[in-house]
Amino acid sequence: MAFVDEAKIKVTSGAGGNGAVAWHREPYKPKGGPDGGDGGDGGSVILRADRSIGTLLEVRDHPHIKAERGGHGAGKRRHGAKGKDRVVLVPEGTIVYDENGRVLADLAREGDQVVVAPGGRGGKGNARFATPTRRAPAFAQKGEPGVERSLRLELRLLADVGLVGFPNAGKSTLVSRISAARPKIADYPFTTLVPNLGVVRTGDVSFVVADIPGLIEGSHEGKGLGHRFLRHVSRAAVLVYFADLTAEDRDPASDVDVLRRELTEFDQDLAARPSLIVASKVDAGRDRFPQVLEAWPDALPISAVTGEGIDELVGRLAVSVTKARAERPAPVGYVRHVVADDPIRVEREDGAWRVRGRRAERAVDTTDLDNDEAVARLQERLIKMGVERMLEEAGAREGDEVRIGKEAFDFEPESGGRGGEA
């Protein structure tokens, strides 16, 4: 399966079902009264982290995600069925951004979830509008429309150890040696085009190693391939820097300095993580190891081909990972809860007046504008919300066009200046 770590999706929640206008029909009860049931709520779109999913390929290839709408109400006060939620499984470590680039959620662990598009509320049936003074309401609410959103998903792999090095430094070979992973290996640079994960087990300790495509100097500025994948080591507890002893055009002793500088430019916190330094391919470049050892006395010579130093490296990693896990808490899921603060306001728009605010827009959305009684109730609600007063204060005159949501009306203020209708 192809590795995909970014995807753009469009989610649409289900609209609420319409309330019903119905009357109680029963022999010998000529005044049975209103009997219409409520519409069901629409289904929501939910993103949920699942460790069985390893890539964003599925959502990238099927970016339009819709939930089911709610059922309509019916007579005998029967309520419509709730629309079925659409649950989309994504990999652990998926970060969800809105269209403005704001983080909505970090689904770090199995079961973390976020409602990215809540379903519309079902409309009330006419039975809900009966009062002592309005005993036979002949109108019902329409269901609330669903929510449409454009989102961007970004995957950050959950790995305990991140392998960082120049292209062809031996990272993939090491992963294949210490785990069951079988990444592509060849004797030319940029063999690894996507991150590879491998699970390492030693004694009672197991940890995940991530092989990141090779970095080059300037990766943080977008050079080469590594910059696309630097974020995949952002959750790693321990980093392993590779000094390639066979590199012909570089001083292996300075490799670590360059790599650390790239990580610092990308994320200062990342560069400060616990780390180990290995001098790779010692079987072919042993004569250059002393200069690495002089710069980095703790450097460990390894050869993924012959196995030299591998057991010691795995042992050191197990100790480092165990210590880092104790000091650094595991990633915790994060969901941004935005408190709705959407006051009603009036703006000028192309020669008309635009009323903005979720309460006013929802009142219009859920009103049956073909029903005079429902329109009269809408007028009362807008007056109570202060919409007419705000229009008059903004300079609206009788006959001006007023837009609320997707609808347009003529402004006709009540006589006496106490309010009006829109």
pLDDT digits (tens, 9 = 90+) for 102-125: 999 999 989 999 999 999 999 999
Confidence of residue 11 (pLDDT cuts 50, 70, 90): very high
8 sits in the region (left: phi over 0; alpha: psi -120 to 50; else beta) called beta
- Mean of pLDDT values over 379-405: 93
**Higher pLDDT pick, 181 / 167:** 167
pLDDT at 181: 60
Q: What angle do CA 366, 372, 384 make, to 5 degrees?
A: 60
| 219 pLDDT more than 50 | no
Amino acid, single-letter form, for residue 108 = A
* DSSP secondary structure letter of residue 195: -
- Mean of pLDDT values over 249-259: 87
**Higher pLDDT pick, 223 / 85:** 85
> CB–CB of 85/116 below 8 Å?
no
d(CA 108, CA 87) in angstroms, rounded, equals: 17
Residue 10 has a CB neighbour count (10 Å cut-off) of 15
CA atoms 285, 290, 295, 298: torsion sign:
positive
Average pLDDT, the chain: 86
List the alpha helices (DSSP H) in 144-251.
171-178
* DSSP secondary structure letter of residue 158: -
State CA 55 to chain mean position distance: 14
> CB–CB of 161/199 below 8 Å?
no
| 196 pLDDT more than 60 | yes
Confidence of residue 199 (pLDDT cuts 50, 70, 90): confident
Backbone angles phi, psi at 249, to 5 degrees: -105, 10
> CB–CB of 16/143 below 8 Å?
yes
Amino acid, single-letter form, for residue 285 = G
Find, among 183, 315, 164, the residue nearest to 243 by Cα.
164
| Least confident among 154-158, 194-198, 257-261, 307-311 | 194-198
Confidence of residue 87 (pLDDT cuts 50, 70, 90): very high
Encoded tokens for 5: 């770590």
